[in-house]
Every structure is written in C-alpha cells, then in structure tokens.
Structure 1
C-alpha cells in the first residue's frame, strides 16, 4: 500500500464532499508514492501523538481533528503548527484528516460512540438532506438501551464504557429518571439540543456542554443530558477505522490511547462526594 492508495480508500469511505464547507479534510501533507506499512490513528495531531507516530515507525497518521482548520500565514518552526509540520516532514510521516465527513458517515463517529453504550435500532439525530438520508447518513445517532437505566446508572455506564479522562462524565437532570432512549453525538453537541428535544429521547450524550444552554434546555422540558470529554466521545471511532484498514488493506494499524483532552485534573469537594 502507498499513501496514495490509502488516501483514495479513505476518500471513498469518507468523501470530502460530505464535510462542512468550513472544514478542512483529506491529505494534509505527505508524498503520495511512499509505501505505508504502519498507520497511527489519533483524535488530535499534536506534538505528543506525532512523537508516538515516529516512535512506532508509522508512515501515515489518520486524524479526526484537522491540523490546519484555520488559515495560517507561516509554518515556521517556531510556531506550534509549524513545529508539527516540520517534524512530520522530516520523519516522512503523511497526515490525513477525516472530520465532519466522518461525523455524517454511516457508519461514522457517532455510531462508534453508540456502540460503546450498547445502543440498538440506530438512526440519525439530524438526518442528512436529500438522497443521502436514504443511506442513513447524518449527524448524531438515536438508539435504545438494552435495558432501562436510571440517569445515575446510565452515567456510571458511560463512565465505564468510554475512555477514562480527568473530566469524567457528568449528568444534568433527575438522577432517578428512567432512561430508555438516548441520542448521542461525538464531539461538541450543544447545537443539537433542540434536535434531541424534538426527537423525544429520554437523554442526550455529547461533549462540551455549557452552563446556560444546559440550564435553559432543562427548564424548557428537554431530555436529561450527559456531558463527556470531547476526546473520549470521538476516541471509539478510531477502533472502527483501524479494524477497517487492517481487514481491507492488511496494513499494521495502531490506535493512540494518548489522552489529548486538555483537562488534566478533576477534584470534587468532600461535601459533594459524601452528599451527592
């Protein structure tokens, strides 16, 4: 396999046309004709995951988050992104990104998240428009739990099934509420709070929820909410991409478990711990 052949395969599975207009996906850097024997799958292309790629001898990094989402005027080695780019080029490591095009895919990022919770009967939270809706594409997923759980039990389940982070999992709503149907969305999901309400689900799990939107959502009668770390909500997708690359192309694939969530310390007060 070469960089070119794997890029073509990834582009076919996650077409660039599916990405949002503001997104930047596809091959970021790398020589098309370089052979690929090992791939590293990461959520974020940051110095730590770049060093991991070099340490394991990876020829290609498949990342979820774009390195160059916003325009830059310089990639000088004394800039954050410049250092990363120079390190990758010197190490002859190609970089490929699948972001919002992987979010809407079927299967995509939210399918992997739903699978961690054991959800069944999946359908999009925000279906794609037009003919794409018939392919099951769209943002987020709605599914059913195998057995009903209280919100407290569901929060514990999510914490045990998702990659551990300092932020953990927090929930908003009645702890004793019985949850049967859940909407999930990998990554930041507060823009889909109205969609979760319209869907009539019992709970909605995503990342990066904020105080005021959550407060207003609950006051308006919306479903219970579970807030997880951004990295943890998207890390499960890497396992599915890795399995597909191994099975279809026979390449060696390593999934990075380096926690690139920026939050590194969490401490609950003793009063909160003793009196939930």
Structure 2
C-alpha cells in the first residue's frame, strides 16, 4: 500500500461502515489512542485492546490495532504505567501504534448483528430488538433466525462445535427448538425481545444467573456460548473493512483466542 495511507483513512472507512452515532451514549468508540495523521501501513485486528495486543502488533510490524472492545470506557484522570489503562496507552503511543475500536456501533450494525448467525449457518428472519428512534430500521441488536426443528440438546451441541466451545445450556434438553434468537456477547437485554418474538431459545455469550432462570420459567431456553466466542466473528468484519484501505497484506486478522482457561478436575 502507498505510504500516504494514514490512521485517519482507516478510521474514516470504519466510521462510514459503523457510524459513531450508532454507538450507545456510554460507549467509547473511534480513535482511542494515536493521531489520525500517523501513517498506517499494517493493522492487527483483534477482539480486545490490551497490552498484549499492542505487543503482538509491534512484533508483527503493525502501526495500528483495530479492536471490538475499547481499551477503556471510563474517563482516565491519570496516565501512568501504574494503572493498566495508562500502561496500555503509553506503550502504544511510544511505539507509534494507534488504536481504533468499534464497539456497540458494530454490535448493532446489520453486518455485525448477522456475523454470528452467518458463521453458524442460521437463516435470519429479521432484527430482534425494536427499532431505535433516529437509527436505520436494520440497525438493531440481535437477530431472529429459523431452523428445522431439532432437540435443544442437539442444537446446542452443534452450535458449540461450530464455535469450538462447550456451552452452558438452560432448559429441557429434549424440547424442540425452531425459532432462535441470536446476539453477540452479553444478551441479557435481549431476553424480553426474544420472548416477545416467540423464540424457543436465545443463543449468545452470557446472561445473569437469575435472568436465565426467569427466561426458562417463561418458556425461553438459553445457550451461553461465551462472550468472546460469540464476538470473535466481529473481528473478521473489522478486518474486511480494514482491508478495503490497507489491502490483504496490510491486515493481520487474529484467530479466536481465549483469555482464560478451565481448571482440570481432581
């Protein structure tokens, strides 16, 4: 790619695809660290903006990190290495690595909301969340999908295999499911919409314990596949957008990686 490509060019492409106006008011999206005038020759696209991502970017010769999760949501009043957010920002700035994050504006975008159903081969019927005033009709969280009827246990196992995880499942394993509500990451807020849509099961990252109990009592099964596992497809969406500016060789799309582990039994 030409040396004239800047962080601002990549930011503009991402902002066009996922406008900042689509993000929640509390969110922190866009350019989080760096200067739009900095050169952008190679980008690392990953899920989380942390010190490890910056170090991997530097090691791969990247001058830009594009993430789904922002490096910080709360205002920063101290920028020192003594706090994680400060250490991250300082390390990135010293290395000349900019950080761009697309969070809830990506989650509720049409391509973002349909990334997980597409990966899992679930035919989409329509958006799940009610229309949001001031936003396009298809800019909504979640999607309602329809599958050939199958037992919950079979469906959950199939989805887990596709994502490479062992999901936590709430509900009768023998019940038949046909209408599937799908969301990225935390899907607690989608439970009312899933119930209103007549969904048989809600598939997402995680919900709260008592919300899962209430959902099952109201006839909605829940599959918790993990926050990260259900959002890694969004990294591919970000990488595709970055490639439109930097080309195929200018983007490193990180494969799914877990930041946690499961203890072995005694």
TM-score exceeds 0.5: yes
Contact (CA 8 Å) 1:41, 1:256: kept in 2 or not? Answer: yes
Uncovered stretches (5+) of structure 1, i.e. residues with no partner? 270-276
Equivalent residue, structure 2, for 1:161: 162
Matches within 5 A, 1:129-144: 129-130=132-133, 132-134=135-137, 136-144=138-146
1:115 Cα offset (Å): 0.9
Alignment match of 1:21 (pick from 12, 16, 25): 25
Q: Secondary structure at the match of 2:173?
A: coil
Alignment match of 2:240 (pick from 236, 240, 243): 243
Contact (CA 8 Å) 2:215, 2:221: kept in 1 or not? Answer: no
In the TM superposition, structure 1's runs of 4+ consecutive aligned residues that sit over 3 Å from their partners are 130-134, 266-269
Equivalent residue, structure 2, for 1:119: 122
Contact (CA 8 Å) 2:124, 2:143: kept in 1 or not? Answer: no
Provide the rounded CA distance (Å) in 2 between the counterparts of 1:107 and 1:258: 19
- Are 2:27 and 1:60 aligned? no
Provide the rounded CA distance (Å) in 1 between the counterparts of 2:107 and 2:40: 25
Contact (CA 8 Å) 1:38, 1:57: kept in 2 or not? Answer: yes
- Are 2:163 and 1:197 aligned? no
Contact (CA 8 Å) 2:229, 2:256: kept in 1 or not? Answer: no
Uncovered stretches (5+) of structure 2, i.e. residues with no partner? none
1:200 Cα offset (Å): 0.4
Matches within 5 A, 1:97-108: 97-108=101-112
Matches within 5 A, 1:173-212: 173-212=171-210
Provide the rounded CA distance (Å) in 1 between the counterparts of 2:162 and 2:188: 22
Contact (CA 8 Å) 2:14, 2:242: kept in 1 or not? Answer: no
Query: When the two structures are aligned, how many residues end up with a matched partner?
Result: 261
Provide the rounded CA distance (Å) in 1 between the counterparts of 2:243 and 2:28: 25
Deviations 1:205-259 (A, max 9, x none): 11222221111221122x2110011111110111122123324552521122362
- Are 2:152 and 1:151 aligned? yes
- Are 2:254 and 1:253 aligned? no
Provide the rounded CA distance (Å) in 2 between the counterparts of 1:169 and 1:19: 28
- RMSD in angstroms over aligned alpha carbons? 1.9
1:113 Cα offset (Å): 0.8
1:11 Cα offset (Å): 0.9
* Structure 1 residues 266 and 182: alpha-carbon distance in aligned structure 2, compared to 1, 3 A threshold: farther
1:32 Cα offset (Å): 1.7
Q: Secondary structure at the match of 1:74?
A: coil
Provide the rounded CA distance (Å) in 1 between the counterparts of 2:225 and 2:71: 23
Contact (CA 8 Å) 1:49, 1:256: kept in 2 or not? Answer: no
Provide the rounded CA distance (Å) in 2 between the counterparts of 1:258 and 1:133: 30
Equivalent residue, structure 1, for 2:39: 35
